[in-house]
Amino acid sequence: MFSNRYFNIMVPIISVFLGLLAGAIIMLAFQYNPIKGYIALWNGSFGDIYYFGETIRQVTPYILTGLSVAFAFRTGLFNIGAEGQVIVGWLASVWIGTAFDMPMIIHLPLSLLVAALAGAFWGFIPGLLKAKLGVHEVIITIMMNYIALHSSNAIIRNVLTDSKDRTENIAGSASLASDSLSEAFGFSRLHFGIFVALLIAIFMWFLLEKTTTGYELRAVGFNKYASEYAGMNVGKNIISAMVISGGFAGLAGAMEGLGTFGYMPTHAAFTNLGFDGIAVALLGANNAFGVVISALLFGALKTGSLNMPRAGVPSELVEIVIALIIFFVAASYMIRWILLRFKKEGK
C-alpha cells in the first residue's frame, strides 16, 4: 500500500501535469500552438535574469498567503479572509513607512511587525466569533474581505492623503527594495522580502511539527471534542490559529507595500493574492515547504503568462490552466484510485 507521504507528493505533480496537458488541448481546440505558448510561458518566467527576478518577486507574497491558508487548514479552519488580511497588512505597513522617520534597523522591522499585527487582528475577529459564538469562519472572513477593501480605500483618500488615489512613497528606511539586488536581477522589482517569506515558512514548519503549541493546534483541528476531553483549551487554540494565519497574510501585504510598490493605491477590486493563496495551499498539500514549491509554480505561471501574447496565445489561458490544476488537486481521490490500480496490476 502506498504511504500518505507518497500520495502527498504524487498528487500535486500529476495534477500539474494534467493541468498543463488539458491546457495544451484547449489551445489546440482554439487553434493556438501549445508548444509556442508554453515556450513563451517559460521564457517569460525564467528566460533571462530580469524575468527570473520578477518571478521570484511574484512568488514572495504567494508564499505568505499560501502559508496563511495552509496554517488555518492544518488547524481545522478555513481562512477565506487572507485577501482582506493582505489589504490591512499592506495599509498598516505603508502607514508606518510614511508616517515615521527612523533608522532602518528600527523602521523596517517595525513596519513588518505592524503589518503582521494588522493581519493578525483581522484574523482575531473571526477567530473570536468562531470560538465564542460558533459563527462559521468562512462567512465572517469573506465579509471582512469587503470591509478591508472599502475601508482601506476610504482611509487612503481621507486620512493618509487629501483625496488622492494612492499614498505617498514610503521612506527608504522602511523599504525592502534594494538597488543592488534589483540591478543584479536585470533591474527587476525583486526585493529582500523573499527571505522574510522563507523564514516564515521555516517558522510555520517548526511551530506545527516541533512544538507543544503546534501539536495542540493540530489536535484541535483534527478533533476538537477529543482535544477538549484531553484538557486542551479549544477556544484559545481556534483564536490563536486565526491570529497566526492572519499575521502571515498581513506580512504578504507588507511585501507589496514595502517591497514591490513602495506605496499603496486604492483598489477598485481585490488584489487576488489572498484568493490565489488558497490554490497555493491546496497544491502544496498544506505543508510549509510544499507551499514554497507551489508558490514558485504559481508565480512562474502568473509572470510567464504576460509573455504568451508574443506567441499569439492569450495570457488568460494560464488562468484556465491554474483552474484545471486545482480541479485535479481537488479531485485527488481519482488520482489516488488510479495509482492504487497501477499498484495492484503491477503485483
Query: For cell 498567503, what's the residue?
Result: 65
Round to whole Å and give the CA distance between 255 and 115: 10
The whole-number pLDDT of residue 1 equals 47
Q: 228: which 3 cell numbers?
A: 477538549
Round to whole Å and give the CA distance between 204 and 211: 10
For 126-166, write each residue's pLDDT tens digit. Answer: 999 999 999 999 999 999 999 999 999 999 999 999 989 99
The whole-number pLDDT of residue 191 equals 97
Of the given ranges (137-146, 195-204, 223-232), which has the lowest mean pLDDT?
223-232
The whole-number pLDDT of residue 213 equals 93
- Confidence class for position 227, pLDDT limits 50, 70, 90: confident
Residues 6+ apart with CB under 8 A from 144: 81, 84, 122, 125, 126
- Confidence class for position 9, pLDDT limits 50, 70, 90: confident
Round to whole Å and give the CA distance between 194 and 206: 19
DSSP state of 262: S
CA angle 185, 325, 40 (to 5 degrees): 40
The whole-number pLDDT of residue 4 equals 64
Q: 275: which 3 cell numbers?
A: 484568493
H helical segments located in the chain: 4-29, 34-46, 49-74, 82-99, 104-133, 137-155, 179-184, 193-210, 212-222, 224-229, 234-254, 273-283, 288-305, 317-330, 332-345
For 86-117, write each residue's pLDDT tens digit. Answer: 999 999 999 999 999 899 999 999 999 999 99
Contact 92, 100 (CB under 8 A): no
Q: Give pTM, 2 decimals.
A: 0.93
Listed residue (50, 27, 93, 22) closest to 316, CA to CA: 27
- DSSP codes, 240-296: HHHHHHHHHHHHHHHIIIIIISSS-B--SS--SHHHHHHHHHHHTTT-HHHHHHHHH
Mean pLDDT score, 183-204: 96
Contact 167, 263 (CB under 8 A): yes
CA angle 218, 219, 223 (to 5 degrees): 120
The whole-number pLDDT of residue 41 equals 94
Of the given ranges (69-78, 132-141, 183-192, 335-344), which has the lowest mean pLDDT?
335-344
For 274-317, write each residue's pLDDT tens digit. Answer: 999 999 999 998 999 999 999 999 999 999 999 999 889 898 88
Mean pLDDT score, 245-251: 98
Residue 345: is its pLDDT beyond 80? no
The Cα-based distances of 157 to 128, 165, 306 in angstroms read: 30, 6, 31
Kindly report the average pLDDT of the chain as a whole number: 92
